[in-house]
């Protein structure tokens, strides 16, 4: 069976490269995400069939309790998972492209750890609430990204293995700082901080969904618009510069977009590992496309986080593990498989 060749679609002075396989895989991933989301709406102490879930969503059900549970508890949780997974998947695609390294994800190169540091400081030292903790995580993540980006610069360029190695070093130092704060802080506050560090979708409300969705909607067009420049950057800085790309400007803009996506995800659900690492690579393998899997990586990230949420609720002997621990367990196995199959190691 022959694979359909890509086609160029032109609109006035703009052109779009149409890849049928990418569209097919992306559509299938979105359908799977939708079906899994509907399944999760029926999972819990109050088990609901797909028909009851759809009836409650459209206000046609005869069970007020089910309708309240879905709209106030389960739907915000599912939508938060979708937004967080999509943000992490897109951020991972950008970081892996900029660093030209399969390990270039925000949780590996220290950005997620930096966001966690700000949250821990707020909880341990200032006993901050959810809003203050989220804002501190966002600001700390941005500052960490700026520090890593500056330290990784060599001359006027940055990126590649240097970005990954500097990020790992900064992340290791921040991990030590986080441990010191947890050990020396008040016991109750330390337990609260540790719970936040586990990453969780429990008790998510519309107050978590709306900021995450708004941030995703605002940043996605910027990332998609800059995707062509990012594709050219993968050919090398010199080649991209000769083709008219402003290398450092494009790289800085995409790093800011990826950091914003990571900060949004961390503020909404806490640190969640390995989604940003695995989603872009799985999307690229499925689509077999040389382009950066921004949108397919985002959909894959949403699907993976929903799968992890289902695993944490249904297959852990009713322990209801925090989503961050579940992704850590599953992602660790994926990382071992990735390293074992790498020809460069």
Q: Does any domain span residue 226?
A: yes
Q: Does any domain span residue 236?
A: yes
Q: Does any domain span residue 40?
A: no
The pLDDT assigned to 345 comes to 46
Of 75, 68, 85, 72, the residue nearest 43 (C-alpha): 75
Q: Are 277 and 107 in contact (CB under 8 A)?
A: yes
The pLDDT assigned to 10 comes to 63
Gap between the Cα atoms of 267 and 216, Å rounded: 13
**284-298 average pLDDT score:** 89
Rounded mean pLDDT of the chain? 84
Determine whether 183 is exposed, middle or buried from the number of CB atoms within 10 Å of its CB (0-12, 13-18, 19+). exposed
pLDDT in tens, 123-142: 888 888 777 888 888 889 88
Lowest-confidence pick of 77-86, 277-286, 315-324: 315-324
**Which of helix, strand or coil describes residue 319?**
coil
Domain of residue 160, CATH code: 1.10.3470.10
Lowest-confidence pick of 195-199, 220-224, 281-285: 195-199
pLDDT in tens, 48-67: 888 889 988 888 878 888 89
Residue 16 has pLDDT above 80, yes or no: no
Domain count, the chain: 1
The pLDDT assigned to 5 comes to 57
pLDDT category at 1 given cuts 50, 70, 90 is very low
Q: Does any domain span residue 251?
A: yes
How many C-beta atoms lie closer than 10 Å to residue 325's C-beta? 18
**28-54 average pLDDT score:** 91
Q: Does any domain span residue 198?
A: yes
Residue 155 has pLDDT above 70, yes or no: no
The DSSP code for 157 is B
**12-24 average pLDDT score:** 73
pLDDT in tens, 236-259: 777 888 878 887 788 888 888 998
**178-185 average pLDDT score:** 89
Residue 73 has pLDDT above 70, yes or no: yes
The pLDDT assigned to 71 comes to 92
Q: Does any domain span residue 193?
A: yes
The pLDDT assigned to 62 comes to 80
pLDDT in tens, 270-289: 889 889 988 998 999 898 88
Match 């993540």 to its residue by tokens: 141
Match 């393998």 to its residue by tokens: 285
Strand partners, 14: 11
**182-203 average pLDDT score:** 86
Determine whether 188 is exposed, middle or buried from the number of CB atoms within 10 Å of its CB (0-12, 13-18, 19+). exposed
Q: Does any domain span residue 89?
A: no
End-to-end CA distance of the chain: 35
Query: Could you tell me the residue range of the domain that residue 217 belongs to?
Result: 98-271
2 against 222, higher pLDDT:
222
Largest CA distance in the chain: 67
The pLDDT assigned to 158 comes to 61
**101-129 average pLDDT score:** 85
158 against 302, higher pLDDT:
302
Q: Does any domain span residue 79?
A: no
Determine whether 165 is exposed, middle or buried from the number of CB atoms within 10 Å of its CB (0-12, 13-18, 19+). middle
- What are phi and psi for residue 153, nearest 5 degrees? -75, 135
The pLDDT assigned to 318 comes to 63
Match 């892996």 to its residue by tokens: 96
Half-sphere exposure of 106 (CA within 13 A, CB side): 37
């Amino acid at each position: 069976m022959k694979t359909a060749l890509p086609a160029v679609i032109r609109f006035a002075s703009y052109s779009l490269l149409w890849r049928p396989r990418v569209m097919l895989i992306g559509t299938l991933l979105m359908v799977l995400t939708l079906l899994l989301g509907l399944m999760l709406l029926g999972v819990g102490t109050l088990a609901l069939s797909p028909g009851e879930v759809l009836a409650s969503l459209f206000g046609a059900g005869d069970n007020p309790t089910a309708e309240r549970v879905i709209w106030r508890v389960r739907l915000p949780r599912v939508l938060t998972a979708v937004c967080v997974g999509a943000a992490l998947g897109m951020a991972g695609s950008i970081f892996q492209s900029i660093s030209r390294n399969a390990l270039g994800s925000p949780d590996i190169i220290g950005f997620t750890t930096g966001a966690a540091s700000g949250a821990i400081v707020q909880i341990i030292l200032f006993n901050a609430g959810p809003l203050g903790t989220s804002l501190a995580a966002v600001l700390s993540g941005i500052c960490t990204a700026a520090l890593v980006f500056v330290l990784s610069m060599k001359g006027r360029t940055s990126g590649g293995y240097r970005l990954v190695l500097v990020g790992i070093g900064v992340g290791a130092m921040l991990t030590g700082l986080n441990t010191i704060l947890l050990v020396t802080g008040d016991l109750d506050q330390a337990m609260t901080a540790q719970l936040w560090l586990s990453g969780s979708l429990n008790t998510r409300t519309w107050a978590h969904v709306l900021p995450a969705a708004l941030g995703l909607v605002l940043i996605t067009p910027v990332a998609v618009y800059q995707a062509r420049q990012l594709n050219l950057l993968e050919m090398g800085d010199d080649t991209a510069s000769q083709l008219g790309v402003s290398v450092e400007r494009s790289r800085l803009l995409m790093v800011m977009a990826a950091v914003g996506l990571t900060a949004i995800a961390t503020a909404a659900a806490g640190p969640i590992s390995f989604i940003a690492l695995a989603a872009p690579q799985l999307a690229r393998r499925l689509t077999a496309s040389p382009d950066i899997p921004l949108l397919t990586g985002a959909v894959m990230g949403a699907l993976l986080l929903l799968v992890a949420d289902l695993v944490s609720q249904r297959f852990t002997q009713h322990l209801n593990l925090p989503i961050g621990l579940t992704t850590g367990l599953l992602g660790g196995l994926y990382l071992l498989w990735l390293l074992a199959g790498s020809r460069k190691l």
